[in-house]
Every structure is written in C-alpha cells, then in structure tokens.
Structure 1
Amino acid sequence: MTQIDRSPPPRLSWTIVLFGFAALSLAFSARAALGLIMPVWQAEFGWSSRFISGVGASALIVMALVAPFAGRLVNRKGPRFTLNLGLGLLCIGCALVAAMTGQAMFMLGFAGFAALGFGIVATHVVATAVARSFTARAGLATGVATSGATGGQFLILPLIASLMAIASWRWSFAVLALACLVLIPCVCRSLKDAGGAKAMGRTLGTGPGLTHDLRTVLRRPTFHLLFWSFLICGFTTTGVIETHLLPFAAFCGFGPVPSAGAYGLLSAVNLIGMIAAGWLSDRVNRGRLLAGIYLLRALAFLLLVNMPGSSIETLFLFGILFGAVDYATVPVTASLVASHVGLRSMGLAMGMISAGHAIGGALGAYLGGYVFDTTMGYRLLWIGSLWLAVVAGVMVLFIGEGRDAKPISEAHE
C-alpha cells in the first residue's frame, strides 16, 4: 500500500529551523544574563553569590520539571503553540526582573515565570520539532536550529553588557522582554500552517498514551546512558559555565565588557560547533563523536584551573576551545534519541533527558556558589567538572550505532 508523504514542505521545515533558532537565542541569553549581572546585584542589593546561584538553581529545577511536558506538548500541539507559550512566559519573567525591588520579586520573575519559559523554549522542544519535520539532513537541520541556544548570544550578550554600561541592568532585561513579545506574532504568522501536529503528519490526540510512551522510553538502555551523560553535560555547561564563568572572570580581574566579549566569542564558536556536530551526526559513529566532545570539554577545563593570574587572552582561548564542544552534544544526542528510541516518543524522551540536563545544571549552579563562598575561589569547581566530563565521555562509548527508528509515517501502524 502506497503511503502518502505528509511531512511539511521544505519552506515550512526551514521556517521551523529559523524561528527555533531565534527563540532559543532569546531564552539562553536571558539565562546567561544572570551570571553577567550577578556582581552588580551583589553590590547594589548586598545579595550573596549563594543566594543568586540558588535562584538560578531553582530556575533549573523548574525547567527540569517542565521539560518532559514541554517535549510532549510539541508532539501534541505543534511548534507554533509551544514556542509562543514559552515566549509569553519568558516575556513576563524578564519584565518582572527588570522592575524588581527585592528578593521575592526576583525569585518570582526569574525562578518562576522565566523558568517556565526556559523549560518550554528549550533545545529539546526545537530538536523534536525539527526531527519530525525532516527526512533528510535531519542532523544538520537540528544543529542549525539548536545552535540558537548559543549562537544568538554572540550579539545579544554583548548588547546586554553595553546596556549595563550605558544605562543599567534593568534595561537589559526590559529589552529581552520586549524582544520576546515582538517574536510572538512573527512565530504566529510564519508558522500558521504548522499550528499542530497534524501538519507534521500526525493527528492530535491519537496513538498510545503517556504511560505507554514512558514504558517504551525506559526500556531503552541508550536512554539511560544519554540521560546520565546529559545530566553531567548540564553540570559542566549550564551549571558552572553559564552561571559562574563571568563571575569567575570578574574574580580574575577582567572587566565586564571584555568578559562578555569572550563569552560572545564562546557562543559564536559554539554556533559553528553545534552545526558541525549536527552535520557529523549524519555521517560518523555518533557514540564516538559524543565521547570526543566530552573529552575535549574536559581538556578545556584545564585552562580555567590555571587562569587566575593569566591575561584576558587566556579567557578568549578558553572561549574558543570550550565553545567548539559546549552545546555540540545537543544535535548528536537528539539524533541518537531519534534512532534508538523512536520519533513518536522522541518529545517525551528528549524532555526527560533535558530534565536531567537541568538537574545537573542546578547542581552546578548551586555548588559553584557554595564552593566560592566556602573557599573564596573556583579551583575545586573546575577540577570536579573536568573529571565529570571524563566520566560522561567514557559512558557514551557504550552506545551502539543503530539507526533503526521507524519513520514518522509509520509511527501509528
């Protein structure tokens, strides 16, 4: 029996890539702004590093709770509904932070509304939408779309630092809120034909339920290897780098603008690294590719261990080396989930794996603040992160190279 190809037309598929990139750029820039503005809040409000890191960790816990539901939501409602919901929550959260006058308002804005937005406007949501829209070059498309998690920061984060220098940190979050608001009608208009899973070859509300999908996911050994390695990924990226790299740069005596420039360079290289990893995931053994990414990340931490007393050029060198492997794990992990778990359960599986990433990030964010407040330095944090990256690299070597997931047109046979 001849099957009808219900995949979206190429123009629509690449529109999903474009606006997935834009949405991730805003969400991840708002998250990275916490580390950039942390020293300013410490001076203005008298808040401790532990408190601010704790709020950042709380936001990551909220993201972990939201992630599986967000992944399933993109399967059921489509990318337009899901991305607009997340952008709306992120807009409210950034606006509250811009107007905050105390700790309670900060926690509500950043660890409440913004955290819900972070959990929905996330790499696993965009990766799932892309994977369900492409039958060829899926790895490349996933790499391009999810590279918004870091590539967009190349321009946005230095802009935030400039607004801090010219006006105040409040304007930085106000501009982020406005940008999220402006993007919502753009997504509505451009993805108007992709308003539900039906446009991607699915009928809303059909097929097995959540319990069946959960059992399917948990039966896969590859899922468990990816979950725990991605938890370590979250610790060594979102947790310690997003939250503590810029405060560490200030600790080393580097100014906020050059430090933000180094972080922007990291983000720009990360853009190339994610696209390259997506391209390679279509062509090479993905378990070995993922292991290489983690081991190179461990090597990059050696620079941070020895950075105190060094020049600003060392920070830029770290940005180049770490940027090449920072979020390069995302398209490779998404490709492995698609082939080893299956497209129909991919949203849920990627959501659970991303929850592990957020949990690791929360641990890294909190422990980084605790280590600094306790030891007045970051050396122990960087050494621990180095060895965790080595563990993740060894772990993923046990993943086989099966590409046996059914295409989406067969998902409901």
Structure 2
Amino acid sequence: MSAPHNSVPDASARSHAHRVGWTIVAYGFLAVALSATARTLLSLAMPVWESELGWSRSLVSGAGALALLVMALTAPVAGHFIDRFGPRKLLTAGFAVLALGLGMTALATQAWHLLLAFGVVSGVGFGVVAVSAFFAAVAPYFVEQRGFALAVVDSGYTVGPFLLVPLAALLLAQFGWRFEFAAMALACVVMLPLSWRLLPRVAGVQATDGVPDVPLSGRLRELARSPVFHLLFWSFFLCGFTSSGVIETHFLPYAAACGFSGVTAAGAYGLLSGINLLGILLAGWLSDRMNRPLLLAGIYAVRSLSFVLLMQVGDDLSLLYLFSAVFGLFDYATAPVVASLVASHLGVRVMGLSMGLLGAGHSLGAALGALAGGVVFDFYGSYRGLWLMSIVLAVLAGLIAVFIPKVPRLGFRPH
C-alpha cells in the first residue's frame, strides 16, 4: 500500500506512510482488544462449567493451555507471512477462524468439544490475531515514535478487558455462557470487512531498499545464532508463565475461591486491565528514552513482588484491588519494550518472524502456567504453590534481561 516511514524520500509520500502506520495502529488496538477479551471468556466460564457440566479446572485449564500451544505454533508462521506478504489477507482470515472457534465453543456439550473449539480452532485465530502480528505490521512505519506506537497497539490487551470483561460477566450472569461466547463470535464477524478495508495489501518493508530477500531457513539460522534473540526468548517465556498463564487464566477463579462474586472479581480484573493501559503507554514512552534492558528487568522485579501481595488477599477486597493496581502497572508493559529491542537489535525485516517466535515462547510459558495452576489447585485445593513459583520465575526473567546489550552489536543482519 505504501513504503515505510523511514525509507520514503518524498515528503508527501512520507506523510501518507505515516497516516497508514497510525491507521494500522488504530485497527490493531481494536483487534487486540477483542482478541484479549475473547481469551478471558474461558476464565469467566470456568466455575460455571465446573458446576453445570462437571468439567474440572484441570480440564478447562488444559483447554486454555492447548489454545496457547496452538498459538505458539501459529504465531511464527503468521509473523513470517506478514513480513513477506502484508497483513490484510492473513488478519481477515484470522478473524474468520476466531469467529468460527468461538461459535463452536458456544455449542459445546462435551469435553472434547471444548478442546477442539476453543483449544484448537480458536487457538489458531488467537495466534493470527495477536499483538506480535500487529507489531510486525506497524514497526516499519515508525522510527522515533516506534516504542510508543507499539505500546498503543499493545494497550488493546488492557482496554479490551477493562471495558468488556465486566460486560461479559454481566452477560454470563444474565443470559448464560453460551450467549456470551456467541456474542463474541459475532463481534469477530463484524471485524472482517474492517480488516479488508483498513489494512495494507503489502508488507511495509517491501521495496524499501535493494537488500535481497533471505529465505525463511536463513532467517531462522541467523536468529538461532543470536545471543540477543535467546535472551529475549527465554525471558519472554517466563513472562508468559507469570502473566497470561497464571493471571489471565487463574486470577478470576482465585478470586472466586477467596469468596468474591463473579462480578466483583471481574471488576478487579477490569481495574488491572485499566491500570495496565498506563503501564504499557509509560513503558513504550520510556523505551524511546532510556536503557531498555534495565527497564525490562525492573518490570519483572516489581512483578515478582506483586505476587507476594496476591498471596495475602484472603477475603480482603481492598487487597484484591491493590494487587490489581500494582500488577496491572507492570503486566503487559514488557511487550513494547521487547518489540522495540527486536526492531533495533534484530531488524524490522524479520520483525514478524522474530515476534512470532517470541510470542510462541510466551504462549508456551503461558500454557505451562495455565496448566500448572489447574494441577496445583486440584491437588492442593489452593493456589499458594502457583504464586510461589511465579515469584521465583519473575525474578529469573529479570536476571536474564540484564544481560541484553544496551545498544545493537554489529554482525547480526538477517535483513
């Protein structure tokens, strides 16, 4: 549709590219908000399924973990597709698949229906309509404001749950879980014409210079040999365990186990998501201005301390909301920092593939966290062991981040 911001010599073409970039940012914000809310529906329905259908938390957590595993397999392929061919066709198809999976979930009556509909079909949709895909689509259009633009896209993960999870909880209470999933499937259908109309047909990095294209195998070899990629991958893997895995899947059931109603717990989760917005935008702004590896390490350190607070909640509503505020400020704040490091240290021409692989690592960590939470609760009747694991792993992620170089080192040029 147009060349990226940092490669167009003509001022008017550069201005047009800038508008295209912000259009992708706006659409990506909305798409990520819907996708994040759809993933949260599993957590909301978990206690209802347990009482209504007899599905254990291990089973439902397993469906969530399966979806994350499918996302992990899908995200690198989707990212490489966007690097090569652009976002329009892929993200339109992704919303179609997600609508199908959520619609199938609304009709589920047996355990294998849930595993197939949410774990596999929806998992593919989640893997395509992912923040990593939009990072790849957005990054080539920005240089000076790249960190902030990526943060705006990532903030959809917080604004969506903040506005829509309380509404989803009300729909669940008033009309049941089937209506809740069907309504989200319909929202995904509405996104299809918007995807086709607003997203560029070609990748932003096409025709930017004379650098010959590198085949997928070559790009994978270069990434595999990059120490920076491995540091980002393993810290982001642990990030997935300590955020999406344990909190996105088990925060609402934990609140229910503490005696809070579904609407109250959803309100606390909504607060977490709202504070998340501030954390993401602040992290994106800071990533354009300070030492990003130290910023990333600091985020992980504070996250580990927040789990200590979570363990003390009991039936104290004020502590539940305090945890939501503290954790929310440092939850998704890692994503724009990591994406900014990928763009500067690994290159925008492999942004989709790199973020897809990192997203896969994040999803694998999240799958392990989601599964561990269900197993720990079923075995001990408590989430205490899960929170202790999360403290240790968040500290480890921060230690890994410290070793990422402050500035890119010469030699890695997959682009």
Quickly say closer, same or farther: Cα 1:275–1:201, change in 2 above 3 A. farther
Report 1:105-120 matches (<5 A). Answer: 105-120=113-128
Q: What letter matches 2:272 in structure 1?
A: L
Aligned partners of 1:201 and 1:180: how far apart in 2? Answer: 32
Matching of residue 232 in structure 1 with residue 238 in structure 2: yes
> Is the CA contact (8 Å cut-off) linking 2:138 and 2:150 kept in structure 1?
yes
1:305/1:382 contact within 8 Å kept: yes
Partners of 1:279 and 1:340 lie apart in 2 by 18
Residue type matched to 2:275 in 1? V
Choose 379-388 or 122-131, whichever is displaced more.
Answer: 122-131
- Deviation sequence 1:384-407 (CA, Å, 0-9, x none): 10111011111101111114699x
Q: Deviations over 1:202-231 (max 9, x none)?
A: 69xx61100111112122111101100000
Structure 1 gaps, min length 5:
none
Over residues 222-278 of structure 1, what are the superposed CA-to-partner deviations in whole Å (9 max), with x where a residue is unaligned? 110110000000000111001100000000000000100110111111111111111
Partner of 2:325: 320
Distance 1:180 1:243 in 2: 21
Alpha-carbon contact 1:217-1:345 (below 8 Å) kept: no
Q: 1:187 corresponds to which residue?
A: 195
1:392 to 394, 397, 401: 397
Tell me which residue corresponds to 1:86: 94
8 Å contact from structure 1 (residues 341, 405) kept in 2: no
Structure 2: distance between partners of 1:403 and 1:278 = 18
Q: Does 1:24 align with 2:29?
A: no
Match of residue 296 from structure 2: 290
- Flag the 1:163–1:140 CA change in 2: closer, same or farther, 3 A: same
One-letter amino acid of the counterpart of residue 94, structure 2: G
Which one of the candidate residues 50, 53, 58 is aligned to 1:50? 58
Alignment of 1:1-150 (within 5 A): 4-5=8-9, 9-150=17-158
Unaligned runs of 5+ in 2: 1-6
What amino acid sits opposite 1:280 in the alignment?
L
Please list the CA deviations of residues 11-36 of structure 1 after superposition, one character each: whole Å capped at 9, or x if unmatched. Answer: 21111001111111111111111111
Distance 1:338 1:172, change over 3 A: same
What do the CA deviations read for 1:105-146 (whole angstroms, capped 9, x no partner)?
211110111100111111111111111121220000000011
Q: In the alignment, which residue of structure 2 is the partner of 1:351?
A: 356
Give the SS at the match of 1:132: helix
- The one-character-per-residue Cα deviations of 1:300-339 (angstroms, maximum 9, x if unpaired) are 101111112x311211111110000101100000011111
8 Å Cα contact 2:346/2:414 also seen in 1 = no
Question: Would the alpha carbon gap of residues 143 and 201 (structure 1) be closer, same or farther in structure 2, given more than 3 Å must change?
Answer: farther
Deviations 1:348-385 (A, max 9, x none): 11111111101101100111000001100000100110
Q: For 2:154 and 2:409, locate their aligned partners in 1 and report how far apart those are by CA, in whole Å.
A: 23
Q: Distance in 1 between matches of 2:75 and 2:8?
A: 32
Tell me the residue number matched to 1:161: 169
**Contact 1:59/1:111 (8 A) holds in 2:** yes
Q: Partner letter of residue 363 of structure 1?
A: L
2:137 touches 2:203 (CA, 8 Å); kept in 1?
no
TM-score for both structures, normalised by structure 2? 0.93
Cα distance in 1 for partners of 2:171, 2:224 equals 46
Matched positions, count = 403
Question: C-alpha separation between the residues in 1 aligned to 2:264 and 2:146?
Answer: 36
Q: Is 1:381 aligned with 2:386?
A: yes
- Partners of 2:160 and 2:300 lie apart in 1 by 23
What is the match of residue 3 of structure 2?
none
SS of the residue aligned with 2:141? coil
Structure 1 window deviating more from structure 2 (354-363 vs 337-346): it is: 337-346
Task: For residue 82 of structure 1, report the CA deviation from its aligned partner.
Answer: 2.3
More deviation, 15-24/95-104 = 95-104
Superposed CA RMSD in Å reads 1.9
Task: Tell me if the contact between 2:139 and 2:150 (Cα under 8 Å) persists in the aligned partners.
Answer: yes
**1:176-325 alignment, distance < 5 Å:** 176-191=184-199, 194-197=200-203, 201=207, 207-308=213-314, 310-325=315-330
Q: Which amino acid aligns with 2:226?
A: R
CA distance in 1, matches of 2:204, 2:351: 16
Closer, same or farther in 2 for the Cα pair 1:324/1:40, shift >3 Å?
A: same
Which of 334, 341, 344 lines up with 2:346 in the alignment? 341
Provide the secondary structure at the position in 2 that maps to 1:345. Answer: helix
Identity %: 49
CA distance in 2, matches of 1:255, 1:385: 25
Q: Which amino acid is the alignment partner of residue 354 of structure 2?
A: A
Comparing 124-133 with 44-53, greater Cα deviation is found at 124-133
Q: Larger deviation: 284-293 or 206-215?
A: 206-215
For residues 159 and 397 of structure 2, the distance between their equivalents in structure 1, rounded to whole angstroms, comes to: 24
Separation of aligned partners in 2, 1:198 and 1:286: 25
Equivalent AA in structure 2 for residue 153 of structure 1: P
TM-score by length of 1: 0.94
